[in-house]
Chains A and B, each alone.
Chain A
């Protein structure tokens, strides 16, 4: 029902070998969250460490969507890696702020911005490897 009305579209590109840019379009809620989770799990499986989630085309996100972001965040943190949210709509931004997720998951307005953060992190993480 909700799936038919608000189908979720997920596209994955690889700006770097270990960076997955995941572009999501549609409502991210209880009905669609597992869809996104499947894509993210697949990328994790293929060795991506950094996840850039472009949510500019997500008008609504509930706690299910947010839990997916938190889950991939927890997975990536241990690699080590990172999760970035790019260009969230105000409603989604509000949820991220409300739940405090924005305190942990950096929010960028552009993909380049996020990639820069990734590079910076890799530099600081590098010597530890």
Chain B
């Protein structure tokens, strides 16, 4: 969006234009337009005026703040010069200002000029002498303006945009300029708009970058090497930022730099053709360019709030170069504080080969401050001081086998490296080559530590010093203030049985000088025993002397539970992957919940009862077989097996209904025939029109009789004197086929050692034989009578000739 600036009133040149697009007000078309030439301003006009006023108030507040900064500065100078306190200095300042007939602000600037004796004061004095009365109606002298501009520029050293604002407001506006642009020059001759004021944001956005060899006003200034004064843009035909605003306006392009090095261009725009400027103005403008150079040097590593990092092209080239290096390399840019003092270096770039000694991801280190990322750089190794010196003098530094220290967790990790430090433009290039694989190991250690509750340690064998990180104190259950336990004393803290293991570890490590690991039980002072694993390695110096041991402890007590949890999760996953399988499993669980595969024998007077349930091997075939054996309130024992047609969850749920129904019905004291005819009604009215077969018997312990009936089910088998015979095929329709039916009933007298078996057809069913043949086979099997009933049922299951993978239930009773 292009936002044209509003025409500015004379004397208000420094006010920022109000972007038309931002003018709030009635939406067009909602209210009728005011007649032209009306005496009252339109609502839009009134709002614009309000916005304008508010904006001016903000700017005044800013200017006042800048002024206060100058007064504070002057107070500081007085405190130093007069050796007095701050309040005294403030009083002194106002008294002296009153005596000299100046405003406190003007007097403050005088004090600063006196103290500074720099180019600004020289320029301002010359300027004051030549220009005489300032044009600005405000009570600000040129000296105040320049100092204010400088103050603003210094306060905003990192913010070129703020510097541009400050320059325009304090220094250039009063000279009649309406806009200013600060260009950062790249080594390739390109120009980047580092900051601007007085141009619309859209225009600034369009001119954010000027490629090399494109002739613009700023570019001409760059090639000229000296201030370029353009009387009117229309005469030169050179394109530049904001040209359409004031096509006839004058421009100045002032090289900004120091020590023969041009960092950029200060471009100043006037609304009207420019006359030849007096030398005082020229010198003032050059002084301002100096201020710009100051900020442009720090500009390389400035990032916009939500923009790509703004980087000077020479830095970009250096970054490209490092990516081609085969050693880890860092590009550092100076980081200065508000006072322009170098306090640190920012890690502008690390190359592909770079491996953080502390094992952090590259992105964490990239962009961090050097001392924040590597606090140890300031310590023993003098690394930071070396870099600082190289940056200051430009003299490269090279060293072999320099000791570097990085913190891994909180354990300092020493590494020996070859170093190269050199300056390139504003940047410093740091290259190292680490001799061993310490960095890689450290990276592994760091990651492992993070992942697995690992405590790290290092023992300096020369000094006898042991260092632990915080985690290790926690693992040991010791306060961080307590002394760490050296490896030599480890055995005193372990379970006595683990002493041998620990002894072997120490021998491998200290005598064999090889990495070693061991698992042991740590006995903590709080009485807790933890399972630990220790991994340690020896550190040898160049003469192969053992200088240190470092390693880690891991608490593996919880590992077992982690594995259990993992297995459970895997199970769940497999289940949800196959819904069908889940339902089958559910059917099986239902079966198991109701009928455990084996159950403690049920005891009734003079009677042994045993049951077996074997679910189908393939889960989807698990179905509706059931058994039941229960002592009724009447002291009779109800025995039952049944089989619901079909498989899966539907069959299993129907089975549950029928089994429970039969139990409930049995309490009425009715005979087995009656029970089955009721059960038939239940089955017939079950949803899904299921059918089922069942055999039901009531054993009377006092008379040793079994009264039974069957509903389409195989009759029970009686084993007596090594002879197995099926009971007769009583009339009985399977359950659920017809709404009502009756069931034939029979009573059988049992004798001591008689065995009676009820079973489902899973026990006998074969595809290639009739029921008759299969039954005969079963009868042969049943003839063998092992000593216990349980053994007999197990035997039947084991030797079953069935070839259909179906559920199988057996209920057996034996008289004692």
Is A39 engaged at the interface, CB distance under 8 Å to the other chain? Answer: no
Given A70-B691, A91-B772: A101 and B767 interface contact (C-beta under 8 Å): no
Interface 1/0 per residue, A88-114 and B, CB below 8 Å: 001100110111110110000000000
Interface 1/0 per residue, A62-92 and B, CB below 8 Å: 1100010011011000000000000000110
Evaluate contact between A98 and B729: CB separation under 8 angstroms. Answer: yes
Chain A residues within 8 Å of B42, by CB = none
Evaluate contact between B767 and A70: CB separation under 8 angstroms. Answer: no
Evaluate contact between B733 and A100: CB separation under 8 angstroms. Answer: yes
Given A91-B771, A94-B770, A94-B772: A99 and B738 interface contact (C-beta under 8 Å): no
Minimum CB–CB distance from A6 to chain B (whole Å) comes to 9
User: How far apart are the CA atoms of A29 and B713 in the complex, in Å?
Assistant: 18
Chain A residues within 8 Å of B737, by CB = 70, 73-74, 101, 104
Chain B residues within 8 Å of A27, by CB = 767
Evaluate contact between A99 and B771: CB separation under 8 angstroms. Answer: no
Interface 1/0 per residue, B769-799 and A, CB below 8 Å: 0111000000000000000000000000000
Minimum CB–CB distance from B97 to chain A (whole Å) comes to 110
Minimum CB–CB distance from B564 to chain A (whole Å) comes to 40
Interface 1/0 per residue, A27-53 and B, CB below 8 Å: 101000000000000000000000000
Given A62-B765, A67-B645, A74-B689: A103 and B772 interface contact (C-beta under 8 Å): no
Instruction: From B738, B741, B761, B771, give the contact of A94 (CB < 8 A).
Output: B771
User: How far apart are the CA atoms of A60 and B765 in the complex, in Å?
Assistant: 12
Cβ-Cβ contact count across A and B, 8 Å cutoff: 57
Instruction: From B693, B711, B733, B772, give the contact of A104 (CB < 8 A).
Output: B733
Evaluate contact between B767 and A103: CB separation under 8 angstroms. Answer: no
Is B255 engaged at the interface, CB distance under 8 Å to the other chain? Answer: no
Chain A residues within 8 Å of B738, by CB = 74, 104
Evaluate contact between B712 and A99: CB separation under 8 angstroms. Answer: yes
Minimum CB–CB distance from A3 to chain B (whole Å) comes to 13
Minimum CB–CB distance from B620 to chain A (whole Å) comes to 13
With an 8 Å Cβ cutoff, the count of chain A residues facing the other chain is: 22
Chain B residues within 8 Å of A95, by CB = 771
Minimum CB–CB distance from B644 to chain A (whole Å) comes to 10
Evaluate contact between B729 and A97: CB separation under 8 angstroms. Answer: yes
Measured CB to CB, the nearest residue on chain B to A30 is B804
Chain B residues within 8 Å of A29, by CB = 767
Instruction: From A71, A74, A90, A100, give the contact of B734 (CB < 8 A).
Output: A100
Evaluate contact between B770 and A100: CB separation under 8 angstroms. Answer: no
User: How far apart are the CA atoms of A2 and B62 in the complex, in Å?
Assistant: 95
Evaluate contact between B689 and A90: CB separation under 8 angstroms. Answer: no
Chain B residues within 8 Å of A71, by CB = 689
Measured CB to CB, the nearest residue on chain B to A63 is B645
User: How far apart are the CA atoms of A87 and B399 in the complex, in Å?
Assistant: 108
User: How far apart are the CA atoms of A67 and B691 in the complex, in Å?
Assistant: 8
Minimum CB–CB distance from B188 to chain A (whole Å) comes to 79
Minimum CB–CB distance from A22 to chain B (whole Å) comes to 19
With an 8 Å Cβ cutoff, the count of chain B residues facing the other chain is: 23
Minimum CB–CB distance from B727 to chain A (whole Å) comes to 13
Evaluate contact between A60 and B767: CB separation under 8 angstroms. Answer: yes
User: How far apart are the CA atoms of A8 and B127 in the complex, in Å?
Assistant: 117
Minimum CB–CB distance from A73 to chain B (whole Å) comes to 7
Is B450 engaged at the interface, CB distance under 8 Å to the other chain? Answer: no
Evaluate contact between A99 and B734: CB separation under 8 angstroms. Answer: yes
Evaluate contact between B691 and A100: CB separation under 8 angstroms. Answer: no
Measured CB to CB, the nearest residue on chain B to A2 is B767
Evaluate contact between B733 and A103: CB separation under 8 angstroms. Answer: yes
Evaluate contact between A98 and B731: CB separation under 8 angstroms. Answer: no
Query: Most B CB atoms within 10 A — which of A63, A90, A95, A97?
Result: A63
Measured CB to CB, the nearest residue on chain A to B765 is A62
User: How far apart are the CA atoms of A2 and B738 in the complex, in Å?
Assistant: 31
Evaluate contact between B770 and A90: CB separation under 8 angstroms. Answer: yes
Q: Which B201-242 residues have C-beta < 8 A from chain A?
A: none
Query: Most B CB atoms within 10 A — which of A71, A74, A103?
Result: A103
Is B588 engaged at the interface, CB distance under 8 Å to the other chain? Answer: no
Evaluate contact between A101 and B734: CB separation under 8 angstroms. Answer: yes
Chain A residues within 8 Å of B712, by CB = 98-101
Is B714 engaged at the interface, CB distance under 8 Å to the other chain? Answer: yes
Evaluate contact between B689 and A100: CB separation under 8 angstroms. Answer: no
Is B732 engaged at the interface, CB distance under 8 Å to the other chain? Answer: yes
User: How far apart are the CA atoms of A67 and B735 in the complex, in Å?
Assistant: 12
Evaluate contact between A101 and B733: CB separation under 8 angstroms. Answer: yes
User: How far apart are the CA atoms of A94 and B770 in the complex, in Å?
Assistant: 8
Chain B residues within 8 Å of A99, by CB = 693, 712, 733-734
User: How far apart are the CA atoms of A124 and B731 in the complex, in Å?
Assistant: 26
Chain A residues within 8 Å of B734, by CB = 70, 99-101
Evaluate contact between A100 and B767: CB separation under 8 angstroms. Answer: no
Chain B residues within 8 Å of A62, by CB = 765, 767
Instruction: From A67, A74, A100, give the contact of B732 (CB < 8 A).
Output: A100
Minimum CB–CB distance from A103 to chain B (whole Å) comes to 5
Chain A residues within 8 Å of B731, by CB = 100, 103
Minimum CB–CB distance from B64 to chain A (whole Å) comes to 95
Evaluate contact between B741 and A103: CB separation under 8 angstroms. Answer: yes
Evaluate contact between B770 and A60: CB separation under 8 angstroms. Answer: yes
User: How far apart are the CA atoms of A103 and B714 in the complex, in Å?
Assistant: 16
Chain B residues within 8 Å of A90, by CB = 770, 772
Measured CB to CB, the nearest residue on chain B to A95 is B771
Chain A residues within 8 Å of B693, by CB = 99
Minimum CB–CB distance from A39 to chain B (whole Å) comes to 20
Chain B residues within 8 Å of A70, by CB = 691, 734, 737
User: How far apart are the CA atoms of A91 and B772 in the complex, in Å?
Assistant: 8
Minimum CB–CB distance from A31 to chain B (whole Å) comes to 10
Measured CB to CB, the nearest residue on chain A to B715 is A98
Minimum CB–CB distance from B622 to chain A (whole Å) comes to 15
User: How far apart are the CA atoms of A104 and B47 in the complex, in Å?
Assistant: 98
Chain B residues within 8 Å of A74, by CB = 689, 737-738
Interface 1/0 per residue, B724-766 and A, CB below 8 Å: 0000010111100110010000000000000000000100010
Chain A residues within 8 Å of B768, by CB = 60
Chain B residues within 8 Å of A63, by CB = 645, 761
User: How far apart are the CA atoms of A22 and B191 in the complex, in Å?
Assistant: 97
User: How far apart are the CA atoms of A125 and B772 in the complex, in Å?
Assistant: 38
User: How far apart are the CA atoms of A108 and B731 in the complex, in Å?
Assistant: 19
User: How far apart are the CA atoms of A109 and B275 in the complex, in Å?
Assistant: 132
Measured CB to CB, the nearest residue on chain A to B768 is A60
Chain A residues within 8 Å of B771, by CB = 91, 94-95, 98
Chain A residues within 8 Å of B732, by CB = 100
Minimum CB–CB distance from B348 to chain A (whole Å) comes to 73
Evaluate contact between B645 and A100: CB separation under 8 angstroms. Answer: no
Minimum CB–CB distance from B503 to chain A (whole Å) comes to 66
Minimum CB–CB distance from B625 to chain A (whole Å) comes to 12
Chain B residues within 8 Å of A100, by CB = 711-712, 731-734, 741
Measured CB to CB, the nearest residue on chain B to A73 is B737
30 A-B pairs (CB sep. < 8 Å): A2-B767, A27-B767, A29-B767, A60-B767, A60-B768, A60-B770, A63-B645, A63-B761, A70-B737, A73-B737, A74-B737, A74-B738, A90-B772, A91-B770, A91-B771, A94-B771, A95-B771, A97-B729, A98-B712, A98-B714, A98-B729, A99-B733, A100-B732, A100-B733, A100-B741, A101-B733, A101-B734, A103-B733, A103-B741, A104-B738
Which 10 pairs from chain A and chain B are nearest by CB? A100-B733, A99-B712, A91-B770, A99-B734, A100-B712, A70-B737, A100-B732, A103-B733, A94-B771, A100-B734
Residue ranges of B at the interface with A (Cβ–Cβ < 8 Å):
645, 689, 691, 693, 711-714, 729, 731-734, 737-738, 741, 761, 765, 767-768, 770-772
Given contacts A29-B767, A74-B737, A100-B733, 5 further A-B contacts (CB under 8 A): A2-B767, A74-B738, A94-B772, A98-B771, A100-B731
